[in-house]
Amino acid sequence: MKIATAAYPLDPLTNWADYAAKITDWVSDAGQNGARLLVFPEYAAMELAMLAGADVAGDLEASLHAVSDRMADANDLHADLAVKHGLHILSGSAPVFDPSIGDRPVNRAHLFSPSGGRGYQDKQIMTRYERDPMRMASGGPLRLFETSLGKIAILTCYDSEFPLLGRALSDADLILAPSCTEALSGYWRVRIGAMARALENQCVSVMASLVGPAPWNEVADMNTGMGGVFSPPDAGFPDTGILAEGTLNKPGWTYADVDLEAIAHVRADGWVLGRTHWVEQSGRDSHVTSEPLR
C-alpha cells in the first residue's frame, strides 16, 4: 500500500467553506497519487479556531472550546472524503471536551475508513505545556484498529517516546505518530521515538508534523517538522530504517510504499528478533548490582 503523511501548515481560515476546500484538496491530491492511508498531524484541527474569530483563536481556553465545538462537522467531512476516495484517513487531532472523561479536554485523533467506519485514539501522556497552561486530560484506553490495511495503532506525539505504550501495541503493523513540535529538538525527540517503536515492534511507524508559524493561536504558534515513514533496519527494509522523509518545514505529502508481507517476514525471520526476544528482559531489569571499580 502507499502511505501519505503530511507536513501540514495551519492557515487563518475564516469560514467553513475555505476549511472544507483545503482539506478536500489535500485528500484529493494524496488519493490521486495512489495513497491508501493519509496521516495528518497533531493539533492540525486548531485551524478551526479562527472560524470563531481572531479574538477566540488568540485566547487559549476559548480556542479549545471553539475547536471542540466544530469537531462533529470536521469528522463528517473527513468521513465523507474517506468513503469518496476509498482510503483511510487519520485526521488532525483536536482538543475534545468529552463529558464521559471529565471537564477538561482530551487530545483526540480520529481514524476513518473507506467503508464508513470511525474510531479515535486519545493521547495518553501530556507534555508540560499540555498540563499547564492547557490543562488537558489524559484519555484512554489504547486502541488497536483492525483494518483492511492491517492492524493500525496511534501514538500521538509525546506518546511515541514511551516504550511501554509501544509494547502494548506490539501487534500493530503500522504505528501512526501525528506530532506538533515547536522546536527542532522536539521534532527529533518524536522522530527518534517513532523510529525506536518501529525497531522494537518490527513494524512501520508513520510520523506527520505541523509546519510553519500560526501566531494567531497559542497552541500551535510555531511548528517545526516534516513527514516521515520508518521501518526496522532489517531484512527487506532500508539499512537506515527510513522508508521516506520529507523536507524540513516544507508543506506537502511524503509518500512511502509499505508491504505488510515484509513486516510479517521480518518478525518471523529477521536478522534480529527483537519483538520476540523482548520478554527476555524480564527479571534482568530488576536486579542491578552496584559494584565499586578499583
- pLDDT, position 210: 98
Work out the average pLDDT over 26-37: 98
Q: What is the pLDDT of residue 172?
A: 98
Mean pLDDT (the chain) is 97
pLDDT for position 213: 98
Provide the 3-class DSSP secondary structure of residue 98.
coil
Q: Could you report the per-residue pLDDT of 253-282, keeping only the tens digit for each?
A: 999 999 999 999 999 999 999 999 999 999
- pLDDT band with cut points at 50, 70 and 90 for residue 288: confident
Q: Tell me, what's the pLDDT at 29? A: 98
Tens digit of each residue's pLDDT (9 = 90 or more) over 218-249: 999 999 999 999 999 999 999 999 999 999 99
In this prediction, residues 121-130 reach a mean pLDDT of: 98
What is the mean pLDDT of the segment spanning 126-138?
A: 98
Q: Is 60 helix (H, G, I), strand (E, B) or coil?
A: helix
Alpha helices in the chain (DSSP H): 16-32, 54-57, 60-85, 128-131, 163-168, 184-201, 260-269, 274-277
Domains and CATH numbers, the chain: 2-281 (3.60.110.10)
Give the mean model confidence (pLDDT) for residues 11-34: 98
- Which H or E element spans position 266? helix 260-269
Q: Are 128 and 118 in contact (CB under 8 A)?
A: no
- DSSP-assigned letter for residue 137: B
Residues in Cβ contact with 285 at an 8 Å cutoff, skipping those fewer than 6 apart:
none
pLDDT score at 171 = 98
> What residues contact residue 48 under an 8 Å CB cut-off, 6+ apart?
19, 66, 67, 70, 71, 74, 94
Q: Which amino acid is at 137?
A: A
Grade residue 287 by pLDDT with cuts at 50, 70 and 90. Answer: confident
The pLDDT of residue 65 is above 90 = yes
Q: How confident is the model at residue 83 (pLDDT cuts 50, 70, 90)?
A: very high
- For the cut 90, the answer to whether the pLDDT of residue 185 exceeds it is yes
Percent of the chain at pLDDT exceeding 90: 95
Mean pLDDT of 16-21: 98
- What's the CA gap between 266 and 79, in Å, rounded? 33
Q: Report the pLDDT value the prediction gives residue 246, as an integer from 0 to 100.
A: 98
Span 79-100, average pLDDT: 98
User: 285 falls in which pLDDT band (50, 70, 90)?
Assistant: confident
Which helix (H) or strand (E) segment holds residue 71: the answer is: helix 60-85
End-to-end CA distance of the chain: 57
Residue 223 has phi, psi (to 5 degrees) of: -140, 140
Whether the pLDDT of residue 294 is over 90: the answer is no
